[in-house]
Structures are given as structure tokens and as C-alpha cells.
Structure 1
Amino acid sequence: MDYTRNLLEQIQNRLKDLNRAERKVAEAILRDPQQATRYSIAALAQNAQVSEPTVNRFCRSFNVSGYPELKMQLAQSLASGAAYVSQAVEANDGPEAYTRKIFGSAIASLDNARQSLDPQQVNRAVDMLIQARQIHFCGLGASASVALDAQHKFFRFNLAVSAHSDVLMQRMLASVSHTGDLFVIISYTGRTRELVDVARLARQNGASVLGLTAAGSPLAKSCTLTLDTPQPEDTDIYMPMTSRIIQLTVLDVLATGMTLCRGTDFQPHLRKIKESLNASRYPSDEDAL
């Protein structure tokens, strides 16, 4: 395990397993990683309300030889893009704390997803979307709203596009699907039995299935191609679902890839759709001048 590159992630992942004193050190670091790289050992101990020997024990528990090396590895983690880490919202958090944690968790999750996404898989997914005769976006629960957003994005490409959050409709569509049909199935865990069944049924009838889901999940194993999305979700009742933000962003990546593949000749079509909305909007103050 590479502690040098991912020390902040390791601290976050092991937070609940640390003893009470070492957890205070971890929380002091996670509150402001940038500031932690500038602390002396005495300053960090004071901020965490622990003793300096506790900070040294914390270093050893992460296979770090001492506090100077801890600061160096923190700096390397920040330089590699891990400026934000996920933190669970606590029952006694005030507005400043829970706002910071929610934004920090969303940014950290997006950055983790960006690093996990394989550009070659993205390119294959874009090819599947371009070649599809019609596209069905399917999701349940929180992913259902993501499927609806996908319909809103992808109809612009002159394709037959639909979004479905009803399992019975998904099954019926899969049962009559053909070669050239594409099912894009969106699932955070990839373990929803109904969605896995839809994926299998669609493939049995000749359709292709693109999954936006967790690597190695039952859904991923049932798809033609998957874009693996990490599972950053904190199951704490106070934590909003960052998974949907990742899913929406991955769909933006795919829509952008399709736009670029269509080339400049397709831009007038997209412009026409955008301009069709002008009549539905009040003019801005600048337009009124």
C-alpha cells in the first residue's frame, strides 16, 4: 500500500479504527491538511489536544518514521491532488463545519473518480453511444434522477433517447430489445437485483449494456462495458449522496465526448436547440439596454 502518495486517504480510511487520542490527531490533520503541513509537532499536539508522544505514536501507526516525514508525506498527498478528504457530518456540527465537510467530500469524491476513470474505457463508451440506434437510461432511487438528466443531455444528439425509473418498464424494454439498442444502467452499488436482471435480459436479446457502477459488482459483470465509479459514500445518515454528483459528471464527460466526435458540422444543431429557449426567458438587464 502506497502511504506516500495517499496518506490523507489512509488517515481518512482508518479514522474509525484509531484509538481516541490518535483519532484526535487525525481529525486535526483532516480539518485543514494545508495548515497541518506548517505545524510544529507542539502546535499539532496543542491543536489536537493531545501530547507530543501521542503524535509520534500516530506517525508510527502509519509507518512513518517521525513527524518531519509525516509533514513531507502530507505535502506530497496535497501535491498529488488530495487537497480535500471526505469527512462524515457529526450530530453536533454547526453550519460552518457541515458546509465545509459536504463541499470537501464532494470535491474529494470527484477527484478520486477522475483518477479512477480509464480514458480508453471512456472512448469505448462514447463509441457505443454514437453507434446506438436508441438509448435507454435506467436507474432506481437516487440514480433515477441521474437517468432523467441523461435523457435531457443526450436527446440533443438526434438519437432516440429515453429515461426509465420503473422496473417493470425497464424489463419490458429489455425483453423486446435488439442489436443496436443500448441500455445505460446507472447504479451506485451495482448490487440492485432488478437492474442486474435488466442488464442480463437486454444482452440476451442482442442489446448492448453500458454500466455506470462499482467495479466488480454483479451489475458490472453483467454489462458489455462499464465505467467504474468508486464508492465514496458515507452511510452516515447526515451525509448527502456524492455518488450522484460523480454519475452526473461522468455523463457530462460522455456527452462532451460525443459532441467532439460529431465535429463542428454538428454545432449548428446544438445551437438551434439552445436558441429555441430564448423566447421562454426574460431578457437580462444587459439585453434591455
Structure 2
Amino acid sequence: MNNENIIDIIYGNLGSMTATDQKVAHAVLTAPKDAVNYTISELAKVAQVSEASISRFCKNLDLTGFHQLKIQLAKVADDESSYYDEINIDDVQQALTNIKNNKVAEISNTLASFTTPTLKKIMALINHARILQIAAEGNTYPVVADAIYRFNQIGILAIGAESWSTSIGQTLNLITDDVLMIISNSGESKALLKQIDVAHKQGMQVIAITNRKDSPIALKADQHLRTSVRQYVLNSDYYFSRVAAITAIETLFLLLIAENRKRLSAIQNHENIISTDKI
């Protein structure tokens, strides 16, 4: 598991957990400091599951057991930026503060997971790509649209399509000199996995941005950036926040500009051209 933040790992796996594992996850995420001091029977009681379910939960997170879960929690228990702040509409100002804290946590923990070697490899792939294709499904596509706009602004030809049928058609017309970037919350989309297979058959390199480093998409990709989320709706439903994915895109965008300041003139040129459409 290396030195990954266990809170990030649990959040990243929430969407694909069984109902029982979600009960354990919610018990841990609600009070990480308390969970450090729980016995396995105490955590089972709080989560309203069996002790065997606690052991399975740990195994499903690739932990050796409950003791390792406690060790990993102890490493981050005092870091409140790792936590999720509940949003209660009865106190709007407090809700706004909690939303801010959650979004700051998403950005901070996303950036903390990026390593220099991986970022440099991804930047090199983008820099040398003839065409950068960016793909996603469903409510993640607005992140793709933003990425396409940004990369084209700095002179990197980026394409994409909201329709997966059109997107896969684009991939079939790409070549070895092109790069595919996949953005996926769960990293488990069958359509996007198929698209990676097509890209690899075309000889393309694949970059993935997902919430889990062990997701099928992350494992199939040539390079991977892991994002972190801190978001619930209602009391228990998992919800994908676009903030973390947009943070990953904006980070690459800003690093590419810092690497080559001439790209600022490309942005200015673009802005000058489109400014004629403004009042």
C-alpha cells in the first residue's frame, strides 16, 4: 500500500464497495481518531456488522488485517484535512465552511499524491503528442471539455467527444504519435477500458486520472494520476466531485506553461481572436 493516505484509499473505493463494507467505511470516516483506539469488536458494534466483516473490509483494501488498518489510520488521524465535514442545511454558514473544507481537502490530497517522476513522464507524453485525445463518460465529461479548451489554448491539439461512439471512432483514426487521456471517477468503466485496448492496438500511450491506483483503468494505463474526493450527499450516498479531476488538469496545464513560457503568448493570441465576440 506504500505511503498512501488510508482515508484517500477508503474514499476512492467507496463507490465500488459492498453495502457491508460501506457501513465499515462510514464508521471509520465519521471518526478516524476514535477508530484508531477501537478493538475489532468495538468497530464491528459501531458499524453494525460482524467482526468477520471488519476483517473482509481490511482484506478488500489490501491490508493485512485490522491492526494494519489502525496503524494507517494513526498516521493521518491528527490531519483534519483528511476528513469529511458533514453539510447540514440547518446552519447555512457552517455548511459553507464545511463545503470549503471538503474542497480544500480534495485539492490538497490530490496534489499530495502526485509524484515528480510521474508528472514529468505525463508532461513529456503531452508535449510530444501529435494529437491528445481526452475521454470520459457521463458527468465527468465537463472536465474533458475544460481540458480540451485549456490544452488547445497553449498549442497542444486536443480532441474529444461527449458521445462514446464518436470518441472511439476518433481513437480508431489515431496513431502511435498520439496520446489518449482517460478521466474516470471509479476507474471501472467498461467502455473506457475498451477504448484503452483500442488505443494500445494503435500503438498509443494512455494516461489515466482516477480515484484509485488499483482500478482497472489505472492498471491498464501507461501513466496514472490519482485524485482524492471528499463528498457525500444526504447521509450516505457517494457522489463524484469534479474538483479533484479539474485540479489534476489545471495542474498539468500550469506546469506545461511553467515549462515553456512561450505558451503564454499562445493564450494571448487566442484571447485576442475571441475578444472580438465580446461587448
What TM-score does the superposition give when structure 1 sets the normalisation length?
0.66
- Taking the aligned partners of 1:75 and 1:123, their CA distance within structure 2 comes to 28
* Aligned-residue identity in percent: 15
- Judged with a 3 Å threshold, the aligned counterparts in structure 2 of structure 1 residues 257 and 8 are, in CA distance, closer, same or farther, namely closer
Tell me which residue corresponds to 1:187. Answer: 184
- Taking the aligned partners of 1:224 and 1:7, their CA distance within structure 2 comes to 24
**Which structure's relative contact order is higher, taking Cα pairs within 8 Å and 6+ residues apart?**
2
Tell me which residue corresponds to 1:118. Answer: 115
Tell me which residue corresponds to 2:266. Answer: 269
Tell me which residue corresponds to 2:149. Answer: 152
- Taking the aligned partners of 1:280 and 1:217, their CA distance within structure 2 comes to 43
Amino acid at match of 1:261: E
Matches within 5 A, 1:122-271: 122-213=119-210, 214-234=212-232, 236=234, 241=239, 243-262=241-260, 264-271=261-268
Tell me which residue corresponds to 2:78. Answer: 77
How many matched pairs?
A: 231
Matches within 5 A, 1:53-72: 60-61=37-38
What is the CA distance between 1:162 and its match in structure 2? 1.2
Tell me which residue corresponds to 1:285. Answer: none
SS of 1:185 mapped into structure 2: strand
What is the CA distance between 1:212 and its match in structure 2? 0.7
> Is 1:139–1:147's contact at 8 Å kept on the other side of the alignment?
yes
Tell me which residue corresponds to 2:27. Answer: 17
What is the CA distance between 1:236 and its match in structure 2? 4.5
Unpaired runs of 5+ residues, structure 2, are 12-21, 40-73
- Judged with a 3 Å threshold, the aligned counterparts in structure 2 of structure 1 residues 173 and 277 are, in CA distance, closer, same or farther, namely closer
- Judged with a 3 Å threshold, the aligned counterparts in structure 2 of structure 1 residues 209 and 16 are, in CA distance, closer, same or farther, namely closer
RMSD: 3.8
> Is 2:185–2:240's contact at 8 Å kept on the other side of the alignment?
no
What is the CA distance between 1:277 and its match in structure 2? 4.0
- Judged with a 3 Å threshold, the aligned counterparts in structure 2 of structure 1 residues 97 and 175 are, in CA distance, closer, same or farther, namely same
SS of 2:199 mapped into structure 1: helix
What is the CA distance between 1:159 and its match in structure 2? 3.1
What TM-score does the superposition give when structure 2 sets the normalisation length?
0.69
Matches within 5 A, 1:3-14: none
SS of 1:164 mapped into structure 2: coil
> Is 1:84–1:108's contact at 8 Å kept on the other side of the alignment?
yes
> Is 2:184–2:209's contact at 8 Å kept on the other side of the alignment?
yes
Max radius of gyration: which structure?
1
